[in-house]
């Protein structure tokens, strides 16, 4: 049985975790998928704020992250649905960092 600290702090991957623990790992662990998304402050550059990019790529507004949070708060989901949302978050995190680098250059 995994503990909350093991899932949210100590674990380095979700390998071998059940669905609930996998969702919590990716939502709350610094090695999880949501932690890879840009944070609110990343979208500020001088006196500019990249609003459109914020709504697509930020850790608060990303659609896949919101869907994963819904699963974490009780929405039933299959392992495939969880993996789909995690893959979407990781893809958006990579793209978000690229977009921010382009906008800030």
Residue 1 has pLDDT above 80, yes or no: no
Q: Does pLDDT of 98 surpass 90?
A: yes
* CB of 59 closer than 8 Å to CB of 39: yes
Q: How many domains does the chain have?
A: 1
Give the helix, strand, coil percentages of the chain, each rounded to 5.
65, 5, 30
How do residues 70-90 score in pLDDT, each as one tens digit? 999 999 999 999 999 999 999
In percent, how much of the chain has pLDDT > 90? Answer: 83
Instruction: Give me the domain span that covers residue 70.
Output: 4-104
> pTM here?
0.92
């Amino acid at each position: 049985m995994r503990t909350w600290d093991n899932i949210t702090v100590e674990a380095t991957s979700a390998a071998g975790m059940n669905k609930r623990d996998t969702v919590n790992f990716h939502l709350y662990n610094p090695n999880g998928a949501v932690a890879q998304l840009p944070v609110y402050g990343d979208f500020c550059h001088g006196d500019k704020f990249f609003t459109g990019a914020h709504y697509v790529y930020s850790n608060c507004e990303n659609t896949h992250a919101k869907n994963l949070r819904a699963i974490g708060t009780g929405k039933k989901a299959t392992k495939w649905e969880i993996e789909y949302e995690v893959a979407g978050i990781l893809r958006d995190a990579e793209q978000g960092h690229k977009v921010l680098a382009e906008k800030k250059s």
